[in-house]
Amino acid sequence: MNIVIFGPPGAGKGTQSKFIVDKYNLYQLSTGDLLRKEIKDKTELGSEISNIINSGELVSDNIVGNLIEKFVSNKNYKHNIIFDGYPRSLIQAENLDSILKKYNQKIDIVLKLSVSLETVKKRILERKIKESRADDNEDIAIKRYKTYEKSSEPVINYYRQSNLLRVINGEAGISEINTEISGLIEGIKG
């Protein structure tokens, strides 16, 4: 089973992905985590992208596409991936489909966590204290939310058309969301 988890920054994608990974033995592919690792390891790519990430903009589709393909092509992860933070644009959604097709895979469900800007601001400030991410401050949080609003609509429509989209109230408590997600996943497992 391949799952896409989708939503604005601070929606709880990472938290819910970890829960799904543990419960269903999947591998989490977080493009944000992979990109932050490049910065931390001071790679060439890391220095190229750090300003973009810290300004709340999106990294190029090409860069993230390459990261994704490396993961999808790895036989150990075959049809066992949760995509966290990817795709974030229509081009990325189309790209993901063609990469998956190339490796004989598909997406089984898209979970969209909906949360308001107010909640995003609150959660990001809380996370800053715990994780000290450079892009977790109020101004950048607002910028990241706006970036999401601008690019997410076509992605949502894309998955709605293919009947894969399930919308979840991301304002609910963590365990309530866990339960809702489990129900949806059990539903597709049949």
Of 78 and 133, the one with the shorter C-beta distance to ligand AMP is 133
Helix axes 138-161, 117-131, angle to 10 degrees: 120
Of 8 and 166, the one with the shorter C-beta distance to ligand AMP is 8
| Shortest CB 134 distance to ligand AMP, Å | 10
| Shortest CB 190 distance to ligand AMP, Å | 30
- CB nearest ligand AMP: which residue? 32
Q: Got the DSSP string for 146-163? A: HHHHHHHHHHHHHHHHTT
Of 41 and 75, the one with the shorter C-beta distance to ligand AMP is 41
Burial class for 159, CB neighbours closer than 10 Å (0-12, 13-18, 19+): buried
Cα 177 to Cα 22, 77, 88, 93, 131: the distances in Å are: 15, 25, 22, 24, 22
| Shortest CB 105 distance to ligand AMP, Å | 18
| Shortest CB 41 distance to ligand AMP, Å | 15
- Which residues would be at the binding site for ligand AMP (CB under 6 A)? 9, 31-32, 35, 52-53, 56-59, 64, 85-86, 88, 92, 144
